[in-house]
């Protein structure tokens, strides 16, 4: 039988501390070559409806799976089918909106853990929408933040975000009047927007900053200008292969100079101890996150196993007549 897990089930099981643990371990496994990762692919229909799909396998734990999601008229719907690699059985079918938000935020948290200065106390976030909350929550979990500034284009949503996040993480989140005001003086910068135009300029950066850029995962989109990418002493991604396909910030900044990709490192190598993290307190470090399927798989496995242990979810009969024939 396949276990159906709804958004409510996922939210009752998966917390940010658990997501941070899951993503860090997944990155360690990726870094030592234990996982199989396929980058995201997309199908675009004539009416602009989109199907996205990304797959991964964990031979050690015996699971394979993928995240599938559609975006139609601005509405996204996510699901993860999780299979046992030894039998081909679908162990679970998981609604994956919350799962995706938490794993993406956790990845920025782990990048911050390994790349930001230990004494980083001031953070800013540009973007106050869909993904921003878990981004800020994860960063606050790995650094003892004392001051946070947030900027978003909609004043009402910005004010609401600041109120809600101040209560959630126990640190006052101040509303900034511009993206530049938010960034100036920050130790950690997060960009989490759907913008097609630059929201972070190189002129605003200062030595010692760490940047988590996660909003643009199309080659034609970017959040950082060429100067910001150029000022980064260390550029880290979740997958070089996938970044070459969709990290618009880097694709546009590197242009025709493909040799610049040679200096880009994967976060998994740092987490696995195969590459150093921050080399000095004055470095500007950049983590360009696109989101990879190994994180979805790891989160889905943990959610499924916790659900089984707690008796959550609904069993649905798939392929029963075939199996009993």
Q: Would you give per-residue pLDDT tens digits along the chain (325 residues)? A: 899 999 999 999 999 999 999 999 999 999 999 999 999 999 999 999 999 999 999 999 999 999 999 999 989 999 999 999 999 999 999 999 999 999 999 999 999 999 999 999 999 999 998 899 999 999 999 999 999 999 999 999 999 999 999 999 999 999 999 999 999 999 999 999 988 789 999 999 999 999 999 988 999 999 999 999 999 999 999 999 999 999 999 999 999 999 999 999 999 999 999 999 999 999 999 999 999 999 999 999 999 999 999 999 999 988 876 555 5
Radius of gyration of the chain (CA): 20
Query: What secondary structure does DSSP assign to 273-323, as a single string?
Result: TSS-----TT--EEEE----HHHHHHHHHHHHHHHHHHT-SEEE--SHHHH
- Name which of 92, 106, 104 is nearest 313 in CA terms: 92
Beta bridge partners, 5, equal 94
The two beta strands, 63-72 and 50-58, are antiparallel
User: Which domains are present in the chain?
Assistant: 2-100+293-324 (3.30.1780.10), 115-288 (3.40.50.720)
pTM (predicted TM-score): 0.95
**Residue 97 to residue 94: CA distance in whole angstroms:** 9
**Residue 265 to residue 240: CA distance in whole angstroms:** 7
DSSP strand E in the chain: where? 2-5, 36-44, 50-58, 63-72, 75-84, 90-95, 122-126, 147-151, 173-175, 188-191, 210-213, 234-237, 265-266, 285-288, 314-316
């Amino acid at each position: 039988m396949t276990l159906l897990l709804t958004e409510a089930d996922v939210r009752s099981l998966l917390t940010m501390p658990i997501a941070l643990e899951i993503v860090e371990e997944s990155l360690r496994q990726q870094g030592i070559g234990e996982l199989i990762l396929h980058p995201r692919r997309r199908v675009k229909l004539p009416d602009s409806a989109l199907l996205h799909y990304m797959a991964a396998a964990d031979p050690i734990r015996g699971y394979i799976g993928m995240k599938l999601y559609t975006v139609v008229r601005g509405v996204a719907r996510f699901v993860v089918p999780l299979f046992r690699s030894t039998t081909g059985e679908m162990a679970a079918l998981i609604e994956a909106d919350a799962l995706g938000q938490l794993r993406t935020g956790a990845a920025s948290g782990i990048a911050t853990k390994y790349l930001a200065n230990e004494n980083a106390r001031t953070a800013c976030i540009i973007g106050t929408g869909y993904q921003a909350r878990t981004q800020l929550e994860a960063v606050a979990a790995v650094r003892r933040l004392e001051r946070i500034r947030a900027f978003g284009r909609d004043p009402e949503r910005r004010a609401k975000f600041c109120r809600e996040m101040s209560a959630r993480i126990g640190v006052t989140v101040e509303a900034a009047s511009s993206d530049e005001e938010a960034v100036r003086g920050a130790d950690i910068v997060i960009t989490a927007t759907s913008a097609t135009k630059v929201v972070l300029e190189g002129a605003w950066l200062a030595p010692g900053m760490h940047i988590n850029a996660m909003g643009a995962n199309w080659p034609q989109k970017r959040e950082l200008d060429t100067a910001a990418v150029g000022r980064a002493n260390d550029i880290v991604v979740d997958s070089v292969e996938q970044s070459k396909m969709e990290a618009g910030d880097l694709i546009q900044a590197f242009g025709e100079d493909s040799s610049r990709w040679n200096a880009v490192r994967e976060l998994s190598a740092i987490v696995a101890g195969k590459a150093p993290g921050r080399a000095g307190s004055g470095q500007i470090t950049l983590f360009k996150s696109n989101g990879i399927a190994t994180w979805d798989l790891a989160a889905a496995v943990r959610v499924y196993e916790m659900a089984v242990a707690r008796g959550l979810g609904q069993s649905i009969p798939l392929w029963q007549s075939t199996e009993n024939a």
